[in-house]
Structure 1
Amino acid sequence: MRKINIAVVGPADSVALIKEVGKEYAQQVEFTTLTYTKPTEVPHLMEKMPISPDAWLFSGQVPYYYALDKQLTTKPLFYIPHTGSSLYRVLLQISCIEKLDFDSISFDLLSRSEIEDTFADIPLQVKNIYVKEFDNIISAEDLVTYHYKLWKDGKTKAAVTTLQSAYAELKKKNMPVFRIWPLRDNIRTTLNLAIQTVKAAAFKESQIAVQYIAIDDYSTVVREARSSYEVRRLEATLYTILINYTEMVKGSINVHGHGQYSIYSTRGAIEKITDYFTVMPIKEDLIKALSVPVSGGIGFGMTAHAAEENAYKAMGFARHNGKGNWMVVSDDGTVSGPLSSPSYLQYSLRMDDVECQQLANQLGVSGTTINRLLASLNKMDIEAVDAEELATHLSMTTRSARRLLSALVDHNLAVVSRQEALHKGRPRNLYRLLLDSLSK
């Protein structure tokens, strides 16, 4: 079995420590190391990386935030946490080795509650604790300025920092400064988490994927065709497109006749080709090459049977949305689609939330309809949604949408905001959905 590749990013000394602990995982992990002087170098180092690792491991939160900000990878990111227990080694160094008192100290990254809990556990009282908390990008210069000013103003006697570059700069200024290092136990915990995450992702990628593809209204196509040759040419054109698509997903294709096909591949291949279940790359080709619409349902599962069941469900949703649509049903009950459509939604078939189930019961609709409604709220103009627009978003008839809107009004979850005159017939009602009430 291939070893997991983890890219370790941090200052040289921290990376060396992580690699040392990493020797315990030599049979299943290989490490690629990237070292920096300042965390601002992290995005550049990641861009220069010749291979794509299975996961990224950062020596602390600061380099992790720089990586997260640039969104340079879809692979999982992890960092070694500096928890309250990381303080004990520093406090031992301050009291026993440097023999300094704890009268006033400035800290960064760690939360005030973690620091106060650590001192309470020792137990040890400190007059003044200054804490620079942050949960986003911060520079070494900012930390140096923070700690140095407090010391120069006589408010602190020492600083404790998590950033190596800040530690080095404060040392140059002859300020008493101590650095929090990653603990070996924290390194092991994070490595175990990274390994399990990568294994879980690989396991998920290897799930069986089944796709059902069918010409919509095939019987009508046959009936209206000028000859059987015309139908065969149509099927041959579709089959050519599907053969190319099957090659793209590294799968196998079966022909069932009557304009129906199935393709077997893996979840990982489908994720890549559909940009994580948002687009269908051959949809435009089908529209251009064929005079009839083609629908598809994609299903995933740990067994062929489960994947086929989900593919059938997905095809049902695709047909429910109209003609020429493609839908996805995952093993966890998540529905995505229609792919390559402005009305794309992602929602769950399952109703795990008790309040949502109660809402579905009150309105007299299915839990799936409630999930679709909640998922589509941010796509609708809440100042002026009518029955037809709601029907489009929820893949239901206009009549059903009117009933749902009426039920929402009855339960104070929507109000008629205004009426809009039409050229013919009665004016249509425009509704404002009360988002806060619906999303509670």
Structure 2
Amino acid sequence: MTRSSQAAAIQQIRIGIIGTQTIVDKIMKIIETFPSFDPVPLVFQEEDEAPALAEQIGREVEVLFLSDPSSQRKVKELNRIIIPVHYVPVTDAGLYKALFIAQQKGIMAGGISVDTLTETMVYRTLKDLNLPSVQAITYDGPVYAPKESLIAFHKAYYESGQCSIALTGSQAVAQALTALGIPNEWLLPSDQDIVVSLERALLSTSSRRSREGQIVVGMINIDDFGAQALRRNNEHEVQKLKLDIHRMVLDYVESLDGYFTHLGGDEYLFFTTRGIFERETGGYKTIPLAKDVNKTHGISLSIGMGFGPSASMAGTNARIAMRKSKEVGGNACFIVREDGTLIGPLEMADPVQEVLSFTDAELIKRAEDAGMTSAYLSKLLNQRARSGKYEYKVHELAHLLDITVRSAHRLLQTWLDNDLVEISGIEKVPRGRPRQIFRFSFLE
């Protein structure tokens, strides 16, 4: 199922993305780590097109996100947009990359001309990079200068021989300078700049503000605590271990401004609010508690988080999420939202390439109707998040799901019939029959 169909199913916060193709593509890649957003991308060729595009989708979205400050200003000047309007700023983070490329090309010795950034930002960056000898001339005109003025600024200093390369924050200016044969680099915003700006945009939406105080229930279970206790020399050490873990969990819940209680044995329960939990996990990405416990005591945790309009629903969803974490073998955290949407696994003690998997309730039901139990689905999601893997040979799948090869063949045939899986290729082996490669397309 595509992200757009998932978004429709769970009523996410709609955000309009307006900008050049390059920046919009970059934003769309990063926004995948923001499960609350349902992006509506629109691309323009010229900044002057931004107001019309903003007006076109202004009533369909909760917030607008522009690719640059100039187009954002044009939209604001329209005075007909009543929702928040944000943009991606150009900072000195983009300057680092541009200077590195210019130095590699060996064309920086003649000096640089820079627009969009301030003189202080430019010289601070040159100092940080140990390039104090590089002459830099910054544009000191209006903040929202027309592109013609910026082109004339760079052209004048290049033709005078004072600068050998232009660094610009405008794609249109970069394209014009290239047409004139003037060496240049476009100051692209960094991923971090986009992330910070998206976080600001998220916090400005009315939906987000209404969810800030929503109850979140968390359940924590120590994986295989009995085996851990057997490794201790005596009961005194076991009790000390319990106290240490209790203290670490208590400290973590305190950081969430939450309420904490020990359910007995190796299970804990806590309550917090959605806004605080989202901020402390970096937007549902990492659980620092799991890393701390693993590093300190070599113990892994299974964590289930439940969202809901009532404490009862949040608690039920937390128990479902906990079961998902246990089904993948522990050392995992899943979130079940109020609509049945599954998020996870979040990053725990081990680094992962993609810490966010996003699966809606409709897909979960479709998978289970096709004979894919929640345990199998959880293991596939966990493996996808940790290794990026969504193609398997039969013996690999059997090993992952802890079943026989014969059972794996039977399941694959059922999933093929229900369009959950497709055959993506054949692997030839020196001896024996060729092996089919199966793609779990819904995981891509």
TM-score band by shorter chain is: 0.3 to 0.5
Q: TM-score, normalised by structure 2?
A: 0.47
Q: TM-score, normalised by structure 1?
A: 0.48
Indicate the structure (1 or 2) with the bigger Cα radius of gyration.
1
Structure possessing the higher relative contact order (Cα contacts under 8 Å, 6 or more residues apart): 2
